[in-house]
Structure 1
């Protein structure tokens, strides 16, 4: 069995604003194994970023708070750590890459110094040792002419190069967990592919575990080992990447897959859009958060939150459609088409059981 490096159980995160309490994360459970990449996928406002920022309480201002739940990193509950203790973890054991590299880099500081900073702070390197290691990591991430440009400023680099510098800074101390929050969204398609390939190769060299946040399922197929689908502040489906792509069970996952083009999608093919808007988490729904937007919603979906159902040892789904009493529902044609391309083990009927989710 793989070594469990992170385990989150029943996490609730709220933000107190003038209009009331925004329940941004509501009962999230997931785990991360050593050396693997977990992708968290969902629309804007689904709670992806808030969930990962909660790991080290990286909230802006004083409005965000963890109401309930545990976040165990190597067996220690981070929700019980003080701010001083968390500062020692940030950048050393758990690092984060944000979406826009220009907001992550200090525009007034030379890039070499920014890569050196975590090494001097967390590893107690001398200036000469930090510079040597900073140059090594900048070359490792493929920054052209790293030595000659060591004293350049962020605005003197392209967007893709700035993202490489951000990655170098995040990986300088060889963290055990790297959280990448939509790290390729601000880049063009060619540069996206290069950055994703870079992250995969660096992961093998440094042996770090990655949580990759994205709204793009196309990106997920290239980087993830496992996928967690998030909606309305909750996880609704989690499984290995092939299980999510070729045997999805939740209507929201069907909607995401149906709205994603592939190589066989012609110019005249109409991609499906998910109707409606995400729920207002100031007043979260009582039952299934996706019920209002789902054409497959059952009466119980509006009254009671569905439990977890176990499809396989690695595949869990939170949908009343998997209950033995529910009517049989076929996924949309675009999802069925994907299923037809798969080996028989994905199309055979499975024994689904209702479980109390424990991340196993």
Structure 2
């Protein structure tokens, strides 16, 4: 418990001090990470705690964004409330849509619930381009942050601290919700809703309330995005955003309250850092999800819990962890090399250089020219993959033998 509190304090200090030393580009990335963390945590209240997997949560995120934009444009651009309070309208928009959509979707459970949420979100995505008075069509809706409370809100650092305040307050409210009777009841909805019904609880009403709470905080995240970008269009309802929040939450770990926030922050920064380096970054994102689900089903936060709950010493855990990391990096290097080389070899620019009857020209990659027809070119990723696999297998075998000896 003490370690968890110290870690939490360290993270808060890092978040407060980060924009003072980061360049402007990274401050903008940090804002996106905060927003993604709140969105994933709001989603996890419904999916991880309530056991209701939504495939259309971008609908409430987008509605929150447009609600905030219209509130910013009201009264001749003065806004219905001072700028720091405008995300409240994102919460109201998300809650209103969540109440309606939740009433319909929670009539069913399991895969049927997921399909209904997907259908409702896609319906809104299809209607949005035609409702130009609300969503602005192709151009979308734009606005401008107005000065308030002595702050201009014209610089990224102002938006960062505003977003940080809202994210921390929202995460605190969601954490408090998990400790309320309804929050405890949410776990019962996930584990055995039929038993709750036999005990006399109105299961449908409880599901609707949980759905609405999740949607309202997703709306806050959308409102923060609208204030950061000062614009938004119907792309906010795209299925890609709904799938991203699912991936982020499960990569972080849905079994821990802060797990989805961790996964969202890590994957958002990954997209920011890697998207400018390669066109295959979405492929890598998908591979990361597959690897985490296969070998770390509890997500990244499960690794933290493993460290806390393990009976072994920190030095021993660090040694095994470094072994797994080394093996994983070798395998990752093999995959990245093969993917990047194939991407360039199969690209239209390279294919236009090919001449029939002549050998394929060398491909520049990682500071070296590689011949696609050379055996050593493809032998390198194979050797990296084999070496990584052997390291992972050896470390895992040693770990199991250690646990077997202690268990005996």
TM-score by length of 1: 0.25
Determine which structure has the larger strand proportion and give its number: 1
Larger-gyration structure (1/2): 2
